[in-house]
Amino acid sequence: MARPVKLRVILADDDARKLILPEGLPSSTEDLAQKITEMFQLDGDIRLQYQDDDFGGEFVNLTTITDVQDKGTLKVIFKTTGQNQTAASTPACLMLCQADDSASVSSFETDDTVLLSSPDESVQSTSRSAPWPLVFPIPCFSYDSEIILQQANAEFHENRTRLSPSPKLKSHILEVLAEEIIKYKAYPTDLDLNTVAEALINKHPCLREQGSYNGCYGWKISLKYKMANFRTKLRSVGCSEVSINSMKNKRQDQYHAASNIKKPRRAEVNYCPQHPKGETSESLERERVNLLAAIKKRNNDKVVKEKMERTFSYRRQEVVQEKPMIAEFKSRWPALFNVDEINTEFMRITTVPLEFKFLAMLDQYSDSLMKLFQSKGGVTGRTIKNIMQPISQVGQSINYFKG
């Protein structure tokens, strides 16, 4: 078993972070860069540099994984993009809106948010890449709407005058917010809609409602009805996440569309995604059959991973709609039942790395769990103490060396 590796990763001049790799170093520098991108939620392409002893510890580009040492220091270099080239042609109003959005995005990112990456862009485009944010990012509205809102915000700050939006403006705001909400959830809860409404009046205080207990209750109700209408529109164009709840997909004994609603649980981000572009259930079934043959070949891990990624939507729709027994599901998808693929599938569904997150939370709560186990009495307590005794001895040894 590979030994865990600890690395110091420099992201900026004033931002250095600690990275623990429980399974040791990956096999290539590309895989290491991918892990760093996922763990620290980085956007864009990166390259890595390490401290070379031949040049007095100066940073040089990392080309071979053997140059990385335990407790070594790596520096992340972000590759330049063409984004700055469009700045000059962007209207000032939209540039201000984009600046506000970038600030809000940086404020809602958490350790639970990990962006999915896939070698197949057509597969990635059908899946959500992040869970529901702590602070909802209000998008830019149309050019004329932004001008109206900015002028109204200035007047609100000057003399506390609220804006009474026209039906056209309000409809546009709700439409844009619904399109942003669907990027995260098709069935947002009341609490989710409340966070969206609060984020809206925080960014545009001129929209704060007079007489509302929180200033945005009416916006929340409007969003609730807007999302219901938006789901109807998505159902008509065949969106799988909402189509599974249509009457034609209900059992004969279920006469109401509201009965047995199938929607994501709290941690599920990609609950029932669309098929990749150009794929159908029939083509993905053929891919599944090819996958059964692929797993029997040696040194074929890359092909298996690609086929598992491509058939993810087909597999999820099978789980959600048909609810197969475990034995049947295992016979159809044997490649899923190993440690690497279970971790990858969990990542696809929740965007959170299972093993890394579990070990991190276990470290966080281990002291409390130890105290809880030690407080148990009777036969159960004696059994637990016998089990925990070797762990306690290891902990004492670690504390001794730390001292």
pLDDT tens, the chain, 403 aa long = 567 888 999 988 778 888 888 788 888 888 898 888 877 777 778 889 999 888 888 898 998 888 888 889 999 998 764 444 343 344 444 445 654 544 444 443 444 443 444 444 444 445 777 888 888 999 999 999 999 999 999 999 999 999 999 999 999 999 999 999 999 988 999 999 999 999 999 999 999 998 888 899 999 999 999 999 999 888 888 888 887 776 555 555 555 555 567 777 777 888 888 899 889 999 999 999 999 999 999 888 899 999 999 999 999 999 988 889 999 999 999 999 999 999 999 999 888 888 888 888 888 888 888 888 888 888 888 888 888 777 766 655 545 444 4
Question: Is-contact 365 355, C-beta < 8 A?
Answer: no
Nearest to 337 by CA among 288, 280, 295, 377: 295
> What pLDDT is recorded for position 163?
93
Residue among 87, 127, 77 at smallest CA distance from 272: 127
Number of H helices, E strands in the chain: 15, 5
Asked if 152 and 339 touch (Cβ cutoff 8 Å), the reply is no
Q: According to CATH, where is 3.10.20.90 located in the chain? A: 5-80
Name the amino acid, one letter, at 146.
E
Per DSSP, 248 falls in state G
pLDDT confidence of residue 49: 92
Give the separation between CA 351 and CA 96, rounded to whole angstroms.
30
Q: Which two tokens stand for residue 198?
A: 């609060």
Q: Which CATH number fits domain 5-80: 1.10.3720.10, 3.30.930.10, 3.10.20.90, 3.40.50.920?
A: 3.10.20.90
Which residue shows structure tokens 């990749």?
Answer: 276
Are residues 109 and 43 in contact, defined by beta-carbon separation less than 8 angstroms?
no
Nearest to 178 by CA among 245, 235, 224, 143: 224
pLDDT of residue 196: 96
Residues in Cβ contact with 210 at an 8 Å cutoff, skipping those fewer than 6 apart: 162
